[in-house]
Structure 1
């Protein structure tokens, strides 16, 4: 058990440090100090960062995932810094405008290997984020250890090998397969390490609970809707449309009857400090409920002691999965699905596509220096398009809008 020299290896060997930090503590520090993490503060989580002062951004969501994941991993015997690093890194590859922007880039990049936020995360960690170069002067990104990179890989397969359960999800582009092969040495094909499973569950827990909290505070949702059968049916339909049918309608219905029995459950929030405190207590209790269920179930199968890497699998009770999905369904039904028809969201997808077009036409001059260098080094049109997609994906919601206004303004176009 534990972690071997193989797990602590870096793609480019580095001299030992005199400071009293472990290899995995250094990994976490590199992600914390990365420009990609800072940019998450101006990227959409569910609601846009400018919508109000309360709403979560990708950065605040990421910090919450890291807190949940670190405690969950620690309870199972994982190295807390490996899990923390994976959680901090898990959304780094997401483009401006959240999944809305991801959808636009996926369509644009369809013929060059596609676009997926998780695959973009791996590309960023191992290529785009500047920290370490190899003997040929090529960037190897943050040069994290094998264990941390593997833990950050939520979908350990290329698009061509995606399983039926996740047909649109993948973790590596074709031109990053060499690095992917290195970090996956010794790993069972298609299997995630325990730390990646912990990261994924922490993401689902934070996502489900906090998106509902945001929806309640913004006035888009009252949990009193669960008193009504037609509302529960609508949530079930939305879960099956967005997340698949691996959890049945009966199981989701049972989950929506169980959740209101939680001692701290609040049906309505009046906006007062006491009301908001009650809501916060409910979110804390739900997080503990889900995490404790997974810890208990995993220990029941694997026993005590340190559980790491491929020595164990995370066990999440089916009832817990159903409750998490029910909460995700509430957010989807009352926040995410209604916004799909809003003109703003259509315009965001158009903005991303127009940015790719204009940057492709004006590259390399219009690109930032690192991406301009990548564009000049690209061997063909497909590689050059990938560079432009990398550039656009790196932008925040705010900078994407500013770049669009500058590059497509009449004054610029007339030059």
Structure 2
């Protein structure tokens, strides 16, 4: 599958880039006339992601707690990938704006960051990666880039779909891992990467003049907003669902079990457990910490206040440390005194104390929600569904493919390209539609 041919500099939009950004930031892969004078390119990008079918599909993809789980007293209505993305976008927009980023750019990146997640989240991601080993593997972040630049139908050229045709700066901000498979700049064994080989043309275009392996400032803001949102909200959902008892975190055996989960997974393997203990103590010492949560209306209100306090705490820590390190840097146009930290003019600084506190929250949700016995059984079943679905589609394709992917399958040049289309089809499914298609093709529930 060949990528679309790059366009000449005439693809610049006919307006002045937002303050702090240069003309290259608002270039698009394929030229488009501006529909509404006065609206910025980043406002257009935000609207495109917000109105995309890919974003809506995230409503059918589980975040951590399975929808329908009942809490001690009420239906918890836990987060989905969609609500997580919306909350991440709110956190990222405000933090980015406080640091001088264009808020629409950061929000568009935050809304885009999970679009490539397949059904069943990271569990489905691992199953798809096993299936796709001989066509380049699977990675949710690389799939997000593929979706934004190729799969989501919005703009077409003579060479085919160019996806949402977003600006260079927004695509760069949505790229958490700006390197291909096996090219992690500091960890060659890492499975994280941000682009498949057949998407390299558009990746090389969006990364033009960017330092190798370095994420732009807006992508760093997006990444921290993602960490903040899911660490805080996963604990909130776990409390609502009755899986987490905050009083248990005062017992030393339970605390040590949480620290074991955190070390190596959420913090470096050489982290001293005492440092994590201090982080947990700092949180528990706060007046707003949800001690004794029992699901009553008063407890729910206190918990909601705790989530707000935590988000503010983590964002303010990053904002203060970053301003202390980079101050009032020049904008991308070279103007001094803009107060805008953008693109490659700064690095987001998150104090270690804040990272330790965030990691403890992640480990609490991991320990008490994701490691439950029923979750292990559910994940095993999900892997079977994805593996059998991939096998059935491979045997029957193009039968079973949606019209969009059927056409791509028919146009594919070889078996490797046809397998990538099957991967794209499975990745586009929600949890429910994956199970439905699996049942239809295999005859098994």
TM-score, normalization: structure 2? 0.89
What's 2:10 paired with? none
Question: Superposition pairs for residues 57-206 of structure 1, below 5 Å?
Answer: 57-136=80-159, 138-165=160-187, 167-206=190-229
What's 1:293 paired with? 317
CA contact (8 A) 1:48 1:97 kept: no
CA contact (8 A) 2:438 2:444 kept: no
1:410 Cα deviation (Å)?
7.2
What's 2:332 paired with? none
1:401 Cα deviation (Å)?
1.0
Matched, 1:243 2:295: no
> What is the distance in 1 between the residues matched to 2:298 and 2:229?
22
What's 1:407 paired with? 441
> What is the distance in 2 between the residues matched to 1:263 and 1:303?
32
SS at match of 2:361: helix
1:340 Cα deviation (Å)?
7.4
What's 1:41 paired with? 59
1:178 Cα deviation (Å)?
1.1
- Give the counterpart of 2:365 among 311, 327, 331: 331
Q: Which has the higher helix share?
A: 1
1:218 Cα deviation (Å)?
0.6
Higher mean alpha-carbon deviation, 294-303 vs 363-372, is at 363-372
1:181 Cα deviation (Å)?
0.3
CA contact (8 A) 1:42 1:49 kept: no
Structure 1: 5+ residue stretches without partners = none
> What is the distance in 2 between the residues matched to 1:341 and 1:271?
23
State how many pairs are aligned: 410
What's 2:44 paired with? 26
CA RMSD across the alignment = 1.6
Deviations 1:116-170 (A, max 9, x none): 110100000000000111233x111000000000000001111120144471111
Question: Superposition pairs for residues 381-392 of structure 1, below 5 Å?
Answer: 381-392=415-426
CA contact (8 A) 1:340 1:346 kept: no
CA contact (8 A) 1:339 1:345 kept: no
SS at match of 1:286: helix
Deviations 1:238-257 (A, max 9, x none): 11243352544232121111
Aligned structure 1 segments of 4 or more residues deviating by more than 4 angstroms: none
TM-score, normalization: structure 1? 0.96
Matched, 1:369 2:403: yes
CA contact (8 A) 1:109 1:115 kept: yes
> What is the distance in 1 between the residues matched to 2:205 and 2:444?
48
Question: Superposition pairs for residues 251-290 of structure 1, below 5 Å?
Answer: 251-290=275-314
Structure 2: 5+ residue stretches without partners = 1-18, 329-338
Higher mean alpha-carbon deviation, 105-114 vs 119-128, is at 105-114
CA contact (8 A) 2:267 2:359 kept: no
